[in-house]
Chain A
Amino acid sequence: SQQGEEDPQALSIQEGENATMNCSYKTSINNLQWYRQNSGRGLVHLILIRSNEREKHSGRLRVTLDTSKKSSSLLITASRAADTASYFCAPINQAGTALIFGKGTTLSVSS
Chain B
Amino acid sequence: DVKVTQSSRYLVKRTGEKVFLECVQDMDHENMFWYRQDPGLGLRLIYFSYDVKMKEKGDIPEGYSVSREKKERFSLILESASTNQTSMYLCASRKKTGGASNQPQHFGDGTRLSIL
Q: Which residues of A contact B (CB under 8 A)?
A: 30-31, 33, 35, 40-45, 48, 50, 88, 90, 92-104
Interface SS of chain A = loop
Contact B58 A98 (CB under 8 A): yes
In the complex, B101 has a CB within 8 A of chain A: yes
Partner of B105, one of A31, A45, A103: A45
Contact bitstring B20-49, A, C-beta under 8 A = 1, else 0: 000000000001010100001111010010
The minimal Cβ–Cβ distance linking A16 to chain B, given in whole angstroms, is: 29
How many B residues have CB within 8 A of the partner chain?
A: 28
- Greatest chain A CB density within 10 A among B31, B97, B100 is at B100
- Greatest chain B CB density within 10 A among A35, A94, A96, A104 is at A96
In the complex, B107 has a CB within 8 A of chain A: yes
Contact A95 B100 (CB under 8 A): yes
Contact B101 A96 (CB under 8 A): yes
The minimal Cβ–Cβ distance linking B102 to chain A, given in whole angstroms, is: 6
Contact B100 A42 (CB under 8 A): no
A31-B100, A96-B101 known; A42-B42 Cβ under 8 A: no
Closest to B2 in A: A45
Cα distance A50–B10 in the bound complex, in angstroms: 37
What residues of A have a CB within 8 angstroms of the CB of B40 in the complex? 103
Cα distance A82–B102 in the bound complex, in angstroms: 27
A41-B109, A42-B110, A45-B105 known; A96-B45 Cβ under 8 A: no
